[in-house]
Amino acid sequence: MKDRYDLIVVGAGPGGSIAARRAAEGGLDVLLAERKNLIGLPVRCAEGVSAAGLKEFIEPSPRWIAAEMSGASLYSPDGTRVDISVPGDGYVLERAVFDRELALQAARAGADILLGGLVQELVLRGRSVAGIVIRDGLSGSRIAADIVIAADGVESRLARLAGIDTLSSLHDLETCYQYGLVDSGFNPDRIELFFGKEIAPGGYAWTFAKGEHLANVGLGITGEYARKRSPKSYLDRFVRTRYPEAEIVYRVGGGVPLGRSPKRLAAPGFMVVGDAARQVNPMSGSGIINAMIAGKLAGETAVAAARAGDFGSRFLSDYQKRWHKRIGRSLLRFYRLKEAIGRLSDDTLNDVARLLNDLKPEQRTLLRAFSLALRDHPKLILELRHLF
């Protein structure tokens, strides 16, 4: 490890590793700093991704794909099952192996990797970020850089240190808990999503099968509900009801930011990507592919800035412009949609499920489900008049 780099990326998740790889491929001297000693652990998500989104960055490998998905089953609060069409196939990942593969590709491109590197603070030169301070025993080691990219997850504080507001309200932060369950009869071809205020208020429960006998089973609830009752207690009740004979082989908890991504994602000498930038789909909670897209854009912007010798916020803001043009605006629409759907009663969701089952299988889509909800509950149109 040197005492100076062109670029330091903090966090070796998908977004950080893609940013480091893109920048290293562009000729930059890159450090990828990860606070944990083992990249990819603990796994804190259901591990589902779209096939098309993944293939933009890496060719799928059986080493880190646990299952292929071809559809989804939705369960309304009263248990009505609706099998819906999902555009394109998807995968359930072996996330720990996947994350390490992305970091390995960054290293092959020329990036240095630092494990166990907890970033204490940013080095500032005036108003510009000029490096990081890594905790080293009882003291800290300074590493200088022209640009720092924060990709250090939902708990990140680096963006705020750089002057970017990423604080989430309780309403916009989903608290999640997940078990790895061993049971018989999981369907690896379909993801299953369960809705209802008794199941997961403000969110939903999920089953992502990783084979016939192993699945990620979890749920998320919004912060207001988590203050009154833990997501673990909701999950325990769900598992007792749905999978009474299952055995738990691992358990994880964490948070997912479901608010609006800040308009400002860059500061002098600094960019932020992934969960740290709140770049998660507010409807689904998915963020892996979004983080990879953001990492690609930020890495490319870092290369362009180095070639121009300009690390100011005006130049680096090209990253945030490209992000908002490609995905950010659609995430804002998904946020408004999430807010409206969150106001639907369980009875309404049950009605929509029954109406969907009256349609042909190929006609059952999420868009059609929402259209049916609007038809029977026209007051939602007023709530969503600014959606598009």
pLDDT of residue 139: 62
Q: What residues does 32 pair with on adjacent strands?
A: 9, 113
- Tell me how crowded residue 166 is: count the other CB atoms within 10 A of its CB: 23
Answer for the pair 252, 178: CB distance below 8 angstroms, yes or no.
yes
Q: Are 22 and 293 in contact (CB under 8 A)?
A: no
**Residue ranges covered by each domain of the chain:** 4-47+94-167+261-329, 67-89+170-257, 340-383
E strands present in 189-286: 190-194, 204-209, 214-222, 247-257, 266-267, 270-272
User: Contact 66/210 with Cβ under 8 angstroms?
Assistant: yes
- Among 383, 364, 295, which Cα is nearest to 87's? 364
Residues in the chain: 388
- Give the pLDDT of residue 375: 64
More confident residue, 376 or 2: 2
- Number of other residues whose CB lies within 10 A of the CB of residue 227: 10
Does residue 58 surpass a pLDDT of 80?
yes
**Helix-strand-coil percent breakdown of the chain, rounded to 5?**
35, 30, 35
Check residues 256 and 366 and name the one with the higher pLDDT: 256
Cβ atoms of 222 and 289 within 8 Å: the answer is no
Nearest-5° angle of CA 154, CA 57, CA 43? Answer: 35
SS3 category, 36: coil
pTM for this one?
A: 0.90
Confidence class of residue 366 from pLDDT cuts 50, 70 and 90?
Answer: low
pLDDT at 138 over 70: no
Report the percent of the chain where pLDDT is more than 70: 92
Report the 10 Å Cβ neighbour count for 299: 31
Show the tokens assigned to 388.
């598009």
CA distance 163 to 265: 10
Q: Which CATH number fits domain 4-47+94-167+261-329: 3.90.1170.50, 2.40.50.140, 3.20.20.70, 3.50.50.60?
A: 3.50.50.60
67-89+170-257 is a CATH 1.10.3720.10 domain: no
